[in-house]
């Protein structure tokens, strides 16, 4: 296990975690952004499996949140406001009339403090951040830690921890776009995805939850037995059309914590297993991505990556019966998501 650190301009640091199996994970202290995950294909050829910019300067704007830590609240908050304990909190309208991914003062725009660690079986970097009350419109001073750990069995573990001195809204995630073809050789049309979910959240035309939870059964949202993402891209189902001919929806996981998602690419033989103790996730299939981004391997395009944003549901701020995102003062937020990379013949 190794850690290599490179100092960039603007007080940015790039940490490269590597193991002896050919897997590498590169992380910036800016935004806690994962810029590269290199894993071997079935023939042992190491290639990158996430979207990252060719020029690091592009992470300053980063309109599609490539690889970033998202907070305080991942997802859209309808009307850019919410009420908590009798008080109303107005947030930045960063997505039309709504608040998205913490707004322009979100965690993806911060330089985090860092601490490296390593042993014979793992290498990692702990990122920490203190967010003062009122900076982003949310209540409470917040201390956050996000830890990226690469293990010798090709797992990337992400541990989230946060404490607040005042009850607040919080749900954190990582916004990496995965593409298992390797070095962006193709789109994710043929990625086969399996999700442990029998319910998903209905969206309106502004991608805001309506308050209804729909059955996945009999729809292009039923991934319980596994299906190709192209099933949704080519579907006439209204919920796929609303999202731009794809997916940008919250899936509520069935059962307890554990293995919740698998994604595989038949051509490369790569398979990714997602384990989490989060109650659900947003799967986003880069439906609104165009050719304007210069990525490390090529220009961007629609359907070039898929995000598995494990998190609670911001819809719980407006509707009952959704996985909650309220962190009480004195409580500690602790969540974990693990991405493990395998190959299949």
Cis peptide before 72 (omega within 30 of 0): yes
Cα angle, residue 101 at apex, residues 296 and 326 outer, rounded to 5°? 140
Total length of the chain: 345
The structure tokens listed for 199 are 């319910």
Cα angle, residue 59 at apex, residues 58 and 64 outer, rounded to 5°? 95
The structure tokens listed for 228 are 């190709």
E strand or H helix at 190, and its extent? Answer: none
Distances (CA, A) of 183 to 36, 40, 307: 10, 11, 16
- 188 contacts: CB under 8 Å, gap ≥ 6: 178, 179, 180, 181, 229, 285, 286, 303, 304, 305, 306
* Residue 150: alpha-carbon gap to chain centroid: 17
Query: Would you name the residues annotated as active-site residues?
Result: 175, 309
Q: What's phi and psi for 224, nearest 5 deg?
A: -65, -30
């Amino acid at each position: 296990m190794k850690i290599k650190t490179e100092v960039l301009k603007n007080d940015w640091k790039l940490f490269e975690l590597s193991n002896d199996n050919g897997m590498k994970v590169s992380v910036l202290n800016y935004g806690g952004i994962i810029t590269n995950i290199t894993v071997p294909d079935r023939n042992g050829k190491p290639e990158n499996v996430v979207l990252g910019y060719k020029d690091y300067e592009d992470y300053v704007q980063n309109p599609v949140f490539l690889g970033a830590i998202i907070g305080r609240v991942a997802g859209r908050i309808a009307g850019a406001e919410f009420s908590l304990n009798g008080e109303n909190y107005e947030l930045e309208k960063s997505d039309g009339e709504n608040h998205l991914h913490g707004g322009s003062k979100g965690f993806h725009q911060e330089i985090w403090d860092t601490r490296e660690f390593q042993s014979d079986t793992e290498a990692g970097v702990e990122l920490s951040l203190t967010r003062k009350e009122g900076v982003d419109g949310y209540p409470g001073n917040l201390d956050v830690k996000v830890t990226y750990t690469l293990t010798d069995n090709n797992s990337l573990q992400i541990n989230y921890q946060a404490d607040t001195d005042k009850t607040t809204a919080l749900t954190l995630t990582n916004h990496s776009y995965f593409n298992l073809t390797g070095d962006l050789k193709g789109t994710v049309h043929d990625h086969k995805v399996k999700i442990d979910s029998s319910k998903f959240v209905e969206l309106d035309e502004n991608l805001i939850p309506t308050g209804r939870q729909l059955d996945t059964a009999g729809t292009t949202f039923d991934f319980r037995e596994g299906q190709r993402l192209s099933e949704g891209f080519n579907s006439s189902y209204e919920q796929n059309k609303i999202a731009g001919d794809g997916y940008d929806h919250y899936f509520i996981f069935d059962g307890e914590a554990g293995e919740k998602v698998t994604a595989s690419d038949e051509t490369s033989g790569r398979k990714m297993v997602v384990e989490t103790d989060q109650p659900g996730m947003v799967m986003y299939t880069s439906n609104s991505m165009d050719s304007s981004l210069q990525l490390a391997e090529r220009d961007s395009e629609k359907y070039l990556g898929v995000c598995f944003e494990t998190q609670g549901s911001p819809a719980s701020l407006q509707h009952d019966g959704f996985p909650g995102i309220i962190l009480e003062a004195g409580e500690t937020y602790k969540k974990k998501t693990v991405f493990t990379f395998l190959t299949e013949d």
